[in-house]
């Protein structure tokens, strides 16, 4: 869900205490510091997209009821199927938990739990006529300044891990057969 400040200014990760834009740059995922006001340029400039699981603004994700979060999963997954990114990154473990729980309820295979950040134990397989044959999912802690369980350096390290994973996937060097 968008934060209060993000909703006020109409741009993702708009609060100055949020580390998202700085971590994107510090990790090397972008060659320069991007402003929240330039979030709409990400698809064209870097082939990155942004979306929310729930559109209602909140000060923190904990304000959303579990069924409100779960109700956003089908819309979210349809966006993923439409745009077919190589990797979807959940910025916030609660988002990853919500999607994983929804998939567990609809899947005949068991989806195992994972570490608090990194590649999720499932993927979306796209049609064979797609350039991107599968979409992987990557979880990371929230970049909100309110989240103190992960300091700035740890958040940067997770972004670096995302960058390294993306490079490996783009090179076709990641074995995803176990997902």
Residues with Cβ within 8 Å of residue 96, at least 6 apart in sequence: 90, 120, 137, 139
3-state DSSP call for residue 102? helix
- Please report the pLDDT score of residue 149 as a whole number: 86
Residue 126 lies in a domain: yes
Four-residue CA torsion sign, 149, 156, 154, 118: positive
Per-residue pLDDT of the chain (179 residues; tens, 9 = 90+): 888 999 999 999 999 999 999 999 999 999 999 999 999 999 999 999 999 999 888 888 788 888 999 999 999 999 999 999 999 999 998 899 999 988 877 655 555 555 578 999 899 998 878 788 899 999 999 999 888 888 999 999 999 999 999 999 999 999 998 88
Residue 40 lies in a domain: yes
Domain harbouring 33, CATH code: 3.40.470.10
Residue 43 lies in a domain: yes
Q: Which of 76, 72, 94, 73 is nearest to 85 (CA)?
A: 76
Residue 150 lies in a domain: yes
Q: State both tokens at 105.
A: 């309820």
Residue 41 lies in a domain: yes
d(CA 21, CA 57): 19
Residue 178 lies in a domain: no
Residue 179 lies in a domain: no
- Please report the pLDDT score of residue 52 as a whole number: 93
d(CA 66, CA 154): 27
Residue 16 lies in a domain: yes
Domain, as residue range, for 43: 4-170
d(CA 141, CA 86): 20
d(CA 44, CA 105): 35
**Count of domains in the chain?**
1
Q: What is the pTM of this model?
A: 0.90
């Amino acid at each position: 869900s968008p934060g209060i400040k993000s909703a006020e200014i109409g741009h993702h990760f708009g609060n100055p205490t949020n580390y998202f834009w700085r971590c994107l740059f510090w990790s090397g995922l972008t060659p320069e510091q991007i402003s929240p006001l330039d979030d709409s340029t990400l698809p064209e400039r870097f082939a990155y997209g942004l979306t929310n699981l729930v559109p209602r603004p909140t000060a923190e994700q904990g304000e959303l009821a579990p069924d409100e979060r779960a109700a956003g999963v089908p819309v979210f997954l349809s966006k993923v199927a439409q745009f077919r990114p190589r990797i979807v990154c959940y910025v916030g473990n609660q988002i990853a938990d919500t999607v994983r729980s929804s998939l567990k309820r609809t899947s005949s295979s068991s989806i195992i739990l994972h570490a608090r950040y990194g590649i999720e134990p499932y993927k979306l397989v796209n049609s064979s006529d797609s350039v991107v044959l599968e979409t992987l999912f990557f979880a990371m802690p929230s970049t909100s300044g309110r989240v103190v369980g992960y300091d700035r350096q740890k958040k940067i390290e997770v972004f670096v891990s995302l960058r390294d994973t993306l490079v490996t996937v783009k090179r076709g060097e990641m074995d995803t057969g176990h997902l």
